[in-house]
Amino acid sequence: MRMRTSLIYIIILVFFISVIPTKKGITAPGVSAQSAIVMEQESGRVIFGKHEHEKRRIASITKIMTAILAIESGKMNENVVVSKNAEGTEGSSLYLIANEKIKLEDLVYGLMLRSGNDAAVAIAEFVGGSVDGFAYMMNQKAEEIGMKNSHFRNPHGLDTHEDHYSTAYDMAILTRYAMGNEHYQKIAGTKVYRSPHPEEKWDRVWKNKNKLVTGLYPYSTGGKTGYTKRAKRTLVSTASKDGMNLIAVTLNAPDDWNDHISMFNYTFNHYELVKVLKEGKLRKIEDTFYQNKIYYKHDFLYPVVNDEEEQIKVKISLVKPDSKKWKEATDIPVPIGKASIYLGDKLIGEQSIFFDIDSMPESRKSFFDWFKSLFFTFLGVELYG
């Protein structure tokens, strides 16, 4: 009898435990991809990762690097003469004609929307002098922005080199960098683009291959598709909702469209973007020299889930004031300090702190300084040098 009663109590207890909502019991999204990541764009926080640091072939998402280098070249309005080498590039094509002249900007649209491999080669030859020269530029940029597990050998991502690879994490880093450029944002999010055809009266019309952008996902803002026989399906996409901007990357993903939708919805449903630091002057500063005189240039936003906001701490570090040396506004160090932001014990960001030089009182000249100025003025030094 006692055993039966105990069993009933156990069943009741298990039932109540199962129905009580738990804050931390959030199920991560399931994805078909071999490697995947979701990154919040502003902070760089990795929301979800699956083998995100594993090196893999990346196919045409390579062209994100090609596009941003073309944009940063400052030559977008210049004409490119298409080479025979570019015309003959295998795979997806804009059907460029050797010796035709086409604006670099048009090539970048064709590169991103239709994944033109011929456009990639034409861009590489124009911006980098040659395909090899452009590959060198690609690797320089990768190193500059922190892509530690990537190596580029061509501008299109075709399986022509064994040492052309990246990771889901690195491609998110690249996309985060590229999305900081408004011209890139516009191109990557364009649904349809028209480019003049040199041999015909009609324009070339390119529709974006990214189905998320063209209607499959309402919050989509851009991205790049990719496929080769060895890399399989690769996809980079971006999405924005309620002020939160996300980057998703999948490598070798049979069901990539749904993978990205699942990862985006998971993040939008469970994470909130909070303002940790507010643009403007810092309050509650004990040092009288700095009171109402130091400020942040911009907000610091960070995505959090559940009770994480309560775990965020900010540590302020400021240069010790030096009244003997800081006589003029130009004597004040720039920046004057920094804010270190922690989530628990983990450093999640740093933000510079600046001194408001307009709040610094004008220095008073000593009698000697006044006399010296008057003396040199009398001699005509200040007037004539």
Task: From 250, 65, 58, select the one nearest 176 (Cα to Cα).
Answer: 65
In three state form, how does the secondary structure of 208-268 look? CCCCHHHHHCCCEEEEEEEEECCCEEEEEEEEEECCEEEEEEEECCCCHHHHHHHHHHHHH
DSSP 321: P
Choosing from 35, 115, 166, 262, the catalytic residue is 115
Query: How far is residue 83 from each of residues 77, 138, 199, measured CA to CA in Å?
Result: 19, 21, 16
- Percentage of the chain with pLDDT > 70? 86
C-alpha–C-alpha distance, residues 103 and 196, integer Å = 10
Asked about 115 being catalytic, the answer comes back as: yes
Q: Would the pLDDT of 286 be above 90? A: no
Asked whether residue 195 falls in the same domain as residue 290, the answer is no
The whole-model pTM stands at 0.84
Which residue, of 238, 270, 302, is where some domain finishes? Answer: 270
C-alpha–C-alpha distance, residues 99 and 199, integer Å = 11
Asked whether residue 137 falls in the same domain as residue 285, the answer is no
C-alpha–C-alpha distance, residues 274 and 306, integer Å = 12
Give 9-40 pLDDT, tens digit per residue. Answer: 444 444 444 433 333 446 778 899 999 999 99
State how many domains the chain has: 2
Choosing from 35, 43, 50, 60, the catalytic residue is 60
CATH code where residue 316 lies: 2.30.140.30
Quickly state the pLDDT bin for 52 (edges 50, 70, 90).
Answer: very high
Give 189-248 pLDDT, tens digit per residue. Answer: 999 999 988 777 789 999 999 999 999 999 999 999 999 999 999 999 999 999 999 999
- 103-117, 296-310, 321-335: lowest mean pLDDT where? 321-335
Asked about 130 being catalytic, the answer comes back as: no
pLDDT for res 198: 78
C-alpha–C-alpha distance, residues 265 and 332, integer Å = 47
C-alpha–C-alpha distance, residues 57 and 336, integer Å = 44
Q: What is the span of the domain harbouring residue 62? A: 35-270
pLDDT for res 26: 64
Asked about 141 being catalytic, the answer comes back as: no
Q: Would the pLDDT of 385 be above 90? A: no
Asked whether residue 123 falls in the same domain as residue 243, the answer is yes
Choosing from 35, 43, 50, 63, the catalytic residue is 63
